[in-house]
Structure 1
């Protein structure tokens, strides 16, 4: 019970630190301000976190490990179906953890070289999985073109705008899915060989449908 309580408290502290880093910017938050925000003395922080940079690294690493673990949870179906499920999971994760995605994209430069290399390796492994699914689904073109397209796609997904007050969460996800549909359609089949208006034949809903 004591261990569970300690773990819950640590997650609460991490969550509060995450929000502060996202709102103020990691470099703008000093240890004293962080401690005040968490309701403790500055010296007490080191009982919970090795360093401010280590905390940032763990928050970003956790995000990419979650993304990288997603392919193992969508092992069934055709390549197109698995790709669809994987990208839906990415969109849903962004809905749940927008602040972590913000840190991953904007604060990576604040990590040590070793930690940056670790995060880059995780991201590249995730992108490579997407490339392999695209190839299985029938993508054409050079590997360099596919990898560039996937890198751009992941960057866009990681930087999705905040929730729009005029759209519900499902409507927002439908809008993102419709854009992904068009983008992936161009990767899967060159425009010169694709019938006019024909996009990737995945089962994503179209914005406004139903």
Structure 2
């Protein structure tokens, strides 16, 4: 099949991913057809299969890319220091990284149920790897005597849920900047876990 005039794989592939991300976030994975994605990109529906095997693979790829980017960006920071220093860095990083990717965050939480079992397992492994980064910080703080908390795993999940919740209400045009929000949330996290 001939390529659509003006179509380039290095341009069309990312445009398909961007369109799928936007449409899945707006309408939900189950409600979006490959034809809708193709229409948003401006290609024929059959052309999508040059870039993905099916809609499930497209969803999985979006979630996987988000989690890999998240883990990579955190690793690239290379935060050192005591547990409180690392916890503050994690808190601010999580808010800053995810606010710029609200559609990806929404899909990563709301569309897990639509993943095949093997794709779900793969995404869960990436999520656990990220959770382990925070749990390691909390355990280090307990060992240092600077943090006091009953169960590091549960606190990890609670802190991540709280930080991710910013995406549901934050608006760029609102009264607080991202930095101001991060400072308020860091204060809440610190108060919740310090001795």
User: TM-score scaled by structure 2?
Assistant: 0.83
Q: Secondary structure at the match of 1:91?
A: helix
SS at match of 1:103: helix
Distance in 1 between the 2:79 and 2:186 partners?
21
User: Which of these residues, 153, 160, 174, is aligned with residue 154 of structure 1?
Assistant: 160
Corresponding pairs, count: 181
- Structure having greater relative contact order (Cα 8 Å, sep ≥ 6): 2
Deviation of the 1:97 alpha carbon? 0.6
Structure 1 match to 2:101: 97
Whether the aligned pair in 2 keeps the contact of 1:74 and 1:82 (CA below 8 Å) is: no
Deviation at 1:6, TM superposition (A): 2.8
Q: Give the aligned partner of residue 186 of structure 1.
A: 192
* CA displacement 1:106-125 (0-9 Å, x = unmatched): 11111101111111111112
In structure 1, the partner of 2:114 is 110
Return the match for 2:170 from 157, 163, 169: 163
- Provide Cα deviations, 1:149-198, integer angstroms capped at 9, x if missing partner: 11122123233224333325xx2432243133223322232xxxxxxxxx
**The residue matched to 1:140 in structure 2 has which SS?**
coil
Contact 1:105 1:158 in 2 (8 A): no
Describe the SS at the equivalent of 2:188.
helix
Q: Which runs of 5+ in 2 are unaligned?
A: 1-7
State the superposition RMSD in angstroms: 2.0
Question: How far does residue 23 in structure 1 lie from its aligned partner after superposition?
Answer: 0.9
Q: Which of structure 1's runs of 4+ aligned residues deviate more than 3 A?
A: none
1:134 and 1:188 in contact (8 A); partners too: no
SS of structure 2 residue aligned to 1:76 = coil
- 1:36 shift after superposition: 1.5
Q: Report Cα offsets for 1:47-96 as digits up to 9, x if no partner.
A: 01121111111111111122222135223333322222222221111121
Partner of 2:133: 129
- Looking at structure 2, the residues matched to 85 and 8 of structure 1 have their Cα atoms a distance apart, in angstroms, of 35
- Find 1:23's aligned residue among 6, 23, 26: 26
